[in-house]
């Protein structure tokens, strides 16, 4: 993969998403943040800290419920960890980029394996369009245009700063 054009500023988008999540959490104090592995988990960790919440951040993996499991296999590095009772909870799923909706579908299936939440909402840094499933973000820092044949990936440095990488996909 080779890098192309300038990607959006992930730190600026994070600041906007934090503003939106802070408002939602103030209106709904029992809101549970759940990061989607891996980029969403990084964002959830920062949101959790910036909101002054104690305890470990919930992380959910899409691996076991993906419709392309046969091609991708099981990601052994990240497993689902939900440190609260999902039954009756109000859950805010957090991801980096919303694209086809397939990861969100898989994550919702995984979440329901752990219980039945009262409500599930979705927050993302960037929505790049291209939906294949009827999924929409409740909170979104920005809609972004990503050229066909490119991916928009979130990266994190050792200090925890986020940045997007726009890469050309190889055929």
Q: Which domains occur in the chain, in start order?
A: 10-147 (3.40.50.2020)
Name every residue whose Cβ is closer than 8 Å to that of residue 72 and which is 6 or more positions away in sequence. Answer: 63, 66
pLDDT of the residue at 1? 39
pLDDT mean over 47-71 = 84
**pLDDT, tens digit, for every residue of 65-94?**
766 555 555 555 578 999 999 999 999 999
Strand partners, 168: 2, 150
- Write down the mean pLDDT value for the chain: 91
Q: In this predicted structure, what is the pLDDT of residue 74?
A: 56
Average pLDDT, stretch 18-29?
A: 98
State residue 6's pLDDT score: 84
Share above pLDDT 70 across residues of the chain, in percent, rounded to a whole number: 90
The pTM is what? 0.91
Helix H or strand E segment including 148: none
- Which phi-psi region, left, alpha or beta, contains residue 88 (left: φ > 0; alpha: ψ -120 to 50)? left
CA dist 75 and 78 (Å) reads 6
pLDDT band at 40; cut points 50, 70, 90: very high
Instruction: Look up residue 18 and give its two tokens.
Output: 């934090």
pLDDT tier at 10, thresholds 50, 70, 90: very high
Helix 39-50 crosses helix 10-27 at what angle (to 10 degrees)?
60
pLDDT at 46 over 60: yes
Task: Please check whether residue 135 is in contact with residue 122, taking contact to mean a CB–CB distance below 8 angstroms.
Answer: yes
Give me the pLDDT at residue 3, please.
Answer: 43
Q: What share of the chain is helix, strand, coil (3-state, %, to 5)?
A: 30, 30, 45
Beginning with the edge strand found earlier in the chain, give each strand of the sheet holding 58-60 in spatial order. Answer: 58-60, 32-36, 90-98, 119-127, 139-143
């Amino acid at each position: 993969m080779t890098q192309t054009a300038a990607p959006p500023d992930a730190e600026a988008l994070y600041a906007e998403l934090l503003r939106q999540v802070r408002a939602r959490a103030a209106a709904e104090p029992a809101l549970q943040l759940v990061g989607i592995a891996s980029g969403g988990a990084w964002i959830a960790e920062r949101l959790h800290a910036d909101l002054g919440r104690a305890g470990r951040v919930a992380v959910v993996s899409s691996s076991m419920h993906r419709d392309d499991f046969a091609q991708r296999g099981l990601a052994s590095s990240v497993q689902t960890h939900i440190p609260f009772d999902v039954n009756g909870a109000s859950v805010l799923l957090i991801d980096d980029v919303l694209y086809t909706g397939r990861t969100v579908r898989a994550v919702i299936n995984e979440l329901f394996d752990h219980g039945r939440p009262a409500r599930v909402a979705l927050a993302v840094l960037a929505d790049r369009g291209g939906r294949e499933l009827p999924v929409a973000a409740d909170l979104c820092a920005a809609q972004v245009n990503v050229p066909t044949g490119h991916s928009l990936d979130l990266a994190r440095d050792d200090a925890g700063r986020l940045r997007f990488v726009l890469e050309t996909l190889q055929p």
